């Protein structure tokens, strides 16, 4: 057995379960991507009777960078870009003072790092957007799971080896210690089907040396813990990145959402999914907390939700699911 077949089985199982399980609201807006003469891709929202969305997890073709999308409003001076590295969206946000600097001289904050075996793809994308991996001076995590924090340690080492300063690595203080120690964690399932999958994974992890040897991991890397007393504007005030931190527990106890105010987009990590129209994460510690976190997200000044897994979708989708007429999520 190798990792690739194992991944393929788990992904196929999850997608089958999401496809044929109860679906959440698909909303009434569509995300339309348009390009200008330089092939820059912009997100715009258009209202339709039914929702049409573009799968942001796959490239339209091999010539265009897979998911490299400046997602600010067209007139915004503050840029951010995101790409599906493996099946996890990673985000690069430009420093607030670097808008007029040429390519290769700007500083960036990276949101999430994907899982360990995706390092070469993550590095290549950073170089394409920023010019060098040394441009990344801040790394923030939506949470500590292997498919989000997996490349953090290796990326930090690569930046230092390339002559850059060691970037700050930041996560919620509840989970920062786990990243520092290189711990991994199996969350619970949010349905009977997914809980059975979790139980199987935990059994194999405990009892099968081969599975323990090949499972996805998070290598230890020193991580600073963010606490609410430090302020939701901590990243802008201390590091110069226009991101608002919103605690959104439920999928994990220390999950965070990052709101890019200039583009009115919330990067929610695994607080919400969008696979086959379902927004409830298949895995999580508390469905009630997930609902409460959705309420926090929709009160932010955002128009678009970008989950770590699946398609971007309009804020109204979560508002409908939270309404009294939508009890089944």
Instruction: Provide the pLDDT for residue 218.
Output: 82
Radius of gyration of the chain measured on its C-alpha atoms: 19
Can you tell me the distance from the alpha carbon of 17 to that of 15, in angstroms, rounded to the nearest whole number?
5
pLDDT tens, residue order, the chain (329 aa)? 334 444 444 455 555 544 444 444 333 333 333 323 322 333 333 322 222 233 333 333 222 223 444 443 322 344 889 999 999 999 999 999 987 888 888 999 999 999 899 999 999 999 999 999 999 999 999 999 999 999 999 999 999 999 999 999 999 999 999 999 998 777 777 777 777 877 777 777 666 655 444 456 788 999 999 999 999 999 999 999 999 999 999 999 999 999 998 899 999 999 999 988 889 998 888 999 999 999 999 999 999 999 999 989 999 999 999 986 443 34
Can you tell me the distance from the alpha carbon of 18 to that of 13, in angstroms, rounded to the nearest whole number?
9
Can you tell me the distance from the alpha carbon of 187 to that of 61, in angstroms, rounded to the nearest whole number?
34
Long-range contacts formed by 44-52: CB under 8 A, 24+ apart = 45/303, 45/304, 45/314, 50/26, 51/26, 51/27, 51/277, 51/313
- Superfamily holding 3-322: Ribonuclease Z/Hydroxyacylglutathione hydrolase-like (3.60.15.10)
For residue 111, report the phi and psi dihedrals to the nearest 5 degrees. -100, 115
CB 250 within 8 A of CB 285: yes
- To the nearest 10 degrees (0 to 180), the angle between helices 152-161 and 119-130 is 50
Instruction: Provide the pLDDT for residue 98.
Output: 87
Pairing, β 168-172 against β 313-314: unpaired
Token pair of 260 as six digits: 């890019």
Give domain limits for the chain.
3-322
Can you tell me the distance from the alpha carbon of 271 to that of 3, in angstroms, rounded to the nearest whole number?
26
Instruction: Provide the pLDDT for residue 102.
Output: 86
Token pair of 324 as six digits: 């009294």
Token pair of 187 as six digits: 């969350």
List, as one string, the DSSP characters of 66-98.
TT----S-TT-SS-EEEEEETTEEEEEEE-TT-
Instruction: Provide the pLDDT for residue 216.
Output: 60
């Amino acid at each position: 057995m190798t990792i690739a077949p194992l991944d393929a089985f788990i992904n196929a199982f999850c997608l089958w379960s999401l496809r044929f399980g109860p679906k959440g609201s698909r909303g009434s807006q569509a995300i339309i991507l348009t390009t200008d003469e330089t092939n820059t891709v912009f997100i715009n929202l258009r209202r339709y009777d039914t929702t049409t969305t573009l799968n942001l997890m796959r490239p339209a073709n091999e010539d265009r960078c897979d998911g490299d999308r400046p997602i600010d409003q067209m007139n915004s001076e503050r840029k951010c870009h995101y790409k599906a590295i493996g099946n996890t969206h990673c985000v690069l946000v430009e420093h607030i003072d670097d808008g007029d600097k040429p390519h290769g001289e700007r500083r960036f904050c990276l949101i999430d790092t994907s899982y360990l075996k995706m390092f070469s793809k993550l590095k290549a994308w950073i170089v394409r957007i920023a010019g060098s991996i040394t441009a990344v001076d801040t790394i923030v995590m939506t949470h500590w799971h292997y498919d989000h924090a997996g490349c953090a340690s290796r990326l930090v080492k690569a930046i230092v080896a390339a002559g850059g300063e060691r970037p700050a690595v930041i996560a919620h203080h509840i989970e920062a210690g786990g990243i520092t120690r290189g711990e991994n964690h199996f969350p619970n399932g949010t349905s009977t089907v997914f809980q059975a999958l979790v139980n199987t994974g935990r059994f194999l992890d405990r009892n099968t040396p081969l599975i323990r040897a090949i499972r996805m991991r998070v290598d230890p890397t020193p991580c600073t813990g963010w606490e609410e007393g430090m302020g939701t504007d901590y990243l802008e005030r201390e590091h110069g990145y226009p991101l608002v931190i919103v605690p959104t527990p439920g999928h994990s106890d220390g999950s965070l959402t990052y709101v890019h105010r200039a583009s009115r987009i919330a990067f929610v990590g695994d607080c919400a999914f969008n696979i086959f129209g379902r927004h409830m994460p298949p895995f999580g510690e508390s469905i009630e907390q997930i609902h409460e976190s959705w309420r926090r997200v929709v009160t932010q000044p955002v128009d678009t939700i970008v989950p770590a897994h699946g398609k971007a979708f309009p804020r109204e989708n979560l508002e409908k699911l939270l309404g009294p007429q939508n009890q089944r999520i």
